Structure 1
Amino acid sequence: MTERIAAPTIMLQGTASDVGKSLLTAALCAILTADGWRVAPFKSQNMSLNAYVTWDGKEIGRAQEMQAEACGILATTDMNPILLKPKADMVSQVIVHGRPLGDYEARAYREDLLPQAGQIVREALGRLRAQYDVVVLEGAGSPAEINLKDRDIVNMRMAGWADAPVLLVADIDRGGVFASIVGTLELLEPHERERVAGFIINKFRGDVSLLQPGLDWLEARTGKPVLGVVPYLDGLALEAEDSLSLDTALRDAAKSEQRERGEPGERLEIAVIRLPRLSNFTDIDPLAAEPDVQLRYVEATSTLGMPDAVVLPGSKNTMADLAWLRDTGLADQLCRYAERGGRVLGICGGYEMMGATLRDPEHTESYVTEQMGLAWFPFETNFAADKRTIRVSGEAWLPGLEGVCEIEGYEIHTGQIEMPPGVMRPFLVRDSRTLEAPLLPEGAASADGRIWGTFIHGILHNDGLRRAWLNTMRSERGLPPQAAGFAFGER
């Protein structure tokens, strides 16, 4: 039997963070897959609070799941063997092959773990190269970060281990594109510079013929080709990787408010509390895509107002973000909003804040041992060392909604709820892998359904439930209901 030759690789690196590496990696995965190749994505180390739970209950970066979907395959931890989830200044939770290894300060991670990490990521890549025809690698940040190069496991050293040609991506929308490309090349070692096969200029607006003199100069200056100029693509509704991408998305949304999204008086106004340690903000993406919703993020009491609904999203440090809510005055304002009949949805960390008490005796999340919650529900949350990561499916029957909605999503949390009798539980769910298992109650809801919470990330990705919830607000405003206009997952 002939031994299989390791699959070839290609790698996308960037001149900076948020230049579009994740999206272009997904695009290249989709193109190669459409051409008939069996393709897999790979990012050795990802720093992101937008996590995803794989089919077997493991945690990876959300971007790698999106890229796997572009390949038409299920995501696995080999596609993102190391995930760093920042939880405080200079401290991150380190996830190795989908399971928490522990919390590490930046220096301790760099000195104690990175020497071992190289072997972990090489083995993961090796398994992918044995299974697929092509592996498309994504770098992180920039390969020219001089202070990090001696322990690099995600950019040029990774490209060397994979023997991958590198496409260098630059973002022209932020300005200085030629300087960023030439400057990056100048800071690379000669052997690293040789590995760069060409450039991709991303997010271009306007007439590309006007850019041609610059492209000619760049090719003459570097001796390397410009392989493509990718136009700025607005309204893609693809899930972002981290909070830097969120900032970009919010700026784009502000610029595009002139787009036709229904009459202003017919739009539902939904406010999202932008917590300092906001995680899994992709939970909100389906609302941003709804044509009858005007979405805005709130960080101060002066901007909350009286929207149709408020979303308390997930948090990597629920105790610290709850303290921030109180320090800013938003906690009191939210309670007054709820008392006046406002609607509030809490997801994961936001759901935990809705309870009576939060306890962290082992300081799993923070240095605070106990804190009072917003007390909308009588449950208690206890944080434990074990993390629950699971994909779930089931049904929802929120008060005020007509009928039962089928749902699916995933949970990522260390908080364990102690729910007293008598609280309305609006969801029945089970592990998606064991459909024969009994459905168990999940979440909490007020009697009128105006306040509800859940651990389920992706709850608003369920089109029927999302539209039914929005239609209750439309009815209250005297507006006619709308049918589910699109399937968010198919956009």
Structure 2
Amino acid sequence: MKQNIMIQGTMSSAGKSLICAALCRIFTQDGFKTAPFKSQNMALNSFITEDGAEMGRAQVMQAEAAKIRPDARMNPILLKPTSDVGSQVIVNGHVLGNMPAASYFKYKKQLVPEIMKAYRSLEEEYDIIVIEGAGSPAEINLKKNDIVNMGMAKMVDAPVLLAGDIDRGGVFAQLYGTVALLEEEERNRVKGLIINKFRGDVEILKLGLATLEELTKIPVAGVIPWIYAKLDDEDSLAPRLSRVQAGAGVDIAVVRLPHISNFTDFNPLEQQPGISLRYAGDVKTLGQPDMVIVPGSKNTMSDLKWMRQNGMEAAILKLAAANVPVLGICGGYQMLGESIEDPDGEEEGGSLHGMGLLPVRTVFEKEKVQTRVTGEILQNPGAGDGLFAALCGSVFSGYEIHMGHTTGNGKNSFSRIRTLTNGSTEAEEDWQADGAVCGNVAGTYVHGLFEDGSLTKNLCSALLSKKGICAEALTQDYAAFKESQYDLLAAEVRKALDMEQIYRMMEKQEGDR
């Protein structure tokens, strides 16, 4: 019999994604073919699969935990906010269009067949599906036509574990209040409660746990401690984005744009000895770093205006003039150029002059580029004898996700890339130019370029050497590091949860609930 289990939370960032990842690794360790699933994800951290489909990073992380390849079926609907009231809607890995929130709320029920098709297809291939909810199932203003919390649980007859975040306080009220706001059928589906992110002695919780069980008539499945696993975050609530103080060694500052996307690009740099990576949302926190990174953005024009208005652009121009390396990725690369044009109104329409640090111009287009690539940093006279010249020959792999087409004079390319399709590269003659470099400023469209290959080691070595710091302890094996973190996460969650109870939950049939 195919089995499933669903993790819901009392709020956003209650830890659903990591609990799902832990269960994916635990079930895999126990010999079950396991896959993650989230019917609808809202996030600006996304990923391109080998077949060119886009999906949320949380399900990529969970797929890695299950030791399987990420597949867009694991996240059939991805919402990428373009403003406070609208999102780009991606269905089964490809853009459906932009929608205001109110329009999407009315439309989303039409996507149920796509959701169920993706789920049933995974169910045919795997023994256990670990399903993640979104936000809270008690958001009573959104419960009508729900497709991601209890609505999803009902569609696939899934038992639910409800997790509360004790680190933010009021966890008993969180859990009791959530259960109280559920309808009877929904409450019956909740088979266990989880206290997450606990720091301290579990003994002091016992009276509260007993009272909670008495009030809700639902057993507590476990108390999960605060786990110091260093894995990808899903969205802008990530604690790492609040890291603003420079540490010892090389100081890399990432601009915290209002619509920052794919900040998971920089997680591998955080793990390198001697490298301190932080996020700067204003001129004061930007300070005097050893390197500046302008990251991706879901609204490049709006975020460039934001930098212009709060002084960040002027500060970056001053740093670049002082020979501080500046790297732009995707939207950040577009901002560093001479101009951005939006003839079809993909973002705001019209045109905007760029920061003028790179000799390139960008035109937004309706068709979205979604592809995996492998690449190599080129030897370019435009790099002079600066940091990026030292990276010549460094290899990397990653993926492109962008709506714009950027052109330059053809002589200042940062790298050459080839498309990867289902794990295979194009022919040798199919190399294409990517990005641009001009002195100590460079830009690229490639996300994830620090995860493997020699680029990360060579970049960090060059930055450390410039500061006179020994770079002997640097490592390239980020994949091995992540594996160790998944095992750590799984070990801690296995100890904390009653796994026998959880396996019994999954054996229940609908009539037993």
Is the CA contact 2:274–2:464 (under 8 Å) kept in the aligned structure 1? no
Residue 461 (1) aligns with residue 456 (2): no
Write the distance in 1 (CA, Å) between the matches of 2:212 and 2:473.
51
Q: Quick check: 1:215 aligned with 2:209?
A: yes
Separation (CA, whole Å) in 2 of partners of 1:356 and 1:60: 31
Residues 336 and 254 (structure 1 numbering): CA distance in 2 closer, same or farther, change over 3 Å?
closer
2:220 alignment counterpart: 226
Runs of 4 or more consecutive aligned structure 1 residues displaced over 4 Å after TM superposition: none
Whether 1:242 and 2:235 are equivalent positions in the alignment is yes
Match of residue 334 from structure 1: 316
Cα gap change, 1:403/1:327 in structure 2, threshold over 3 Å: closer, same or farther?
closer
Q: Which residue of 2 aligns with 1:283?
A: 265
Letter in 2 for 1:444: A
For residue 425 of structure 1, what is the aligned residue in structure 2?
414
- Kindly state the Cα deviation for residue 419 of structure 1 after the two structures are TM-superposed: 2.0
Which amino acid counterpart does residue 231 of structure 2 have in structure 1? L
Kept in 1: contact 2:262–2:296 (CA 8 A): yes
Q: Residue 40 of structure 1 corresponds to which residue in structure 2? A: 35
**Residues 37/150 of structure 1: CA separation in 2 closer, same or farther (3 Å cut):** same
| 1:395–1:429 Cα contact (<8 Å) kept | no
State the distance in 1 between where 2:392 and 2:293 align: 23
Which of 290, 300, 305 in structure 2 is aligned with 1:323? 305
CA contact (8 A) 1:362 1:384 kept: yes
Residue identity in the other structure for 1:361:
P
Q: Distance in 2 between matches of 1:431 and 1:354?
A: 27
**What secondary structure is seen at the aligned counterpart in 1 of 2:167?**
helix
1:461 alignment partner, SS class: coil
Shift of 1:172: 0.7
Indicate whether 1:173 and 2:167 are aligned: yes
How far the C-alpha of 1:486 sits from its partner, in A, is 5.5
Q: Report what 2:491 is aligned to.
A: none
SS of the residue aligned with 1:322?
helix
* Structure 1 Cα separation of the partners of residues 11 and 366 of structure 2: 35
Displacement after TM superposition at 1:250 (Å) = 4.2
Does structure 2 conserve the Cα–Cα contact (< 8 Å) formed by 1:197 and 1:225?
A: yes
- Say if 1:379 and 1:417, in contact at 8 Å, map to a contact too: yes
Gaps of 5+ in 1: none
Measure how far apart 1:383 and its partner are: 0.4
Q: Distance in 2 between matches of 1:129 and 1:58?
A: 20
The amino acid across from 2:399 in the alignment is: Y
Offset, 1:432: 4.4
Distance, in Å, in 2 between the alignment partners of 1:347 and 1:109 is 30
SS of the equivalent of 2:182 reads coil
345, 369, 382: which one aligns with 1:388? 369
For residue 134 of structure 1, the aligned residue among 102, 105, 128 is 128
Aligned residue pairs total 470
Structure 1 SS opposite 2:425: coil
Say if 2:475 is the partner of 1:485: yes
1:193-240 deviation per Cα after TM superposition (whole angstroms, max 9, x unaligned): 000001111101011111111112111222211111111012x22101
Relative to structure 1, the CA distance from residue 74 to residue 375 in structure 2 (aligned partners, 3 Å threshold; closer, same or farther) is same
Letter in 2 for 1:311: I
Indicate which of 4, 7, 12 corresponds to 1:17. Answer: 12
Give distance in 2, aligned partners of 1:482 and 1:428: 29
Is the contact made by 1:33 and 1:39 (CA closer than 8 Å) also made in structure 2?
yes
Q: Report the Cα distance in structure 1 between the residues aligned to 2:286 and 2:472, rounded to whole angstroms.
A: 26
2: CA distance, partners of 1:296 / 1:333: 17
Give RMSD over aligned pairs.
1.7
Confirm or deny that 1:87 pairs with 2:82.
Answer: yes
Query: Residue 472 of structure 1 aligns with which residue?
Result: 462
Sequence identity, in percent?
45
Alignment partners' CA distance in 1, 2:108 and 2:314: 44
Deviation string, structure 1 residues 170-211 (Cα, Å, up to 9, x no partner): 111111000000000100000100000011111010111111
- Deviation of residue 402 (structure 1)? 5.8
Residue 375 of structure 1 corresponds to: 356
1:280-326: CA deviations, max 9, x gaps? 11112122222312222212222322210001000001011111111
Query: Are 2:441 and 1:451 equivalent residues in the alignment?
Result: yes
How far is 1:453 from its partner?
A: 1.1
Q: Please give the secondary structure, in 2, of the residue aligned with 1:149.
A: coil
Deviation for aligned residue 1:89: 1.8
Name the stretch that deviates more: 322-331 or 296-305.
296-305
Q: Equivalents in 1 of 2:166, 2:136: separation in Å?
A: 15
Query: 1:172 and 1:402 mapped to 2: Cα distance?
Result: 45
The code of the aligned residue for 1:445 comes to V
Instruction: Report the equivalent of 1:64.
Output: 59
2:26 maps to which of 31, 38, 49? 31
SS at match of 1:192: helix
Output the CA distance in 2 between the equivalents of 1:306 and 1:35: 50
Alignment of structure 1 residues 295-334 onto 2, 5 Å: 295-334=277-316
- 1:202 corresponds in structure 2 to 196
Q: Distance in 1 between matches of 2:446 and 2:55?
A: 16
Give the conservation status (yes or no) of the 8 Å contact 2:391–2:455.
no
Aligned-partner SS, 1:146: coil
Instruction: With the length of structure 1 as denominator, give the TM-score of the two structures.
Output: 0.92
- Structure 2 residue runs without a partner (length 5+): 380-387, 482-513
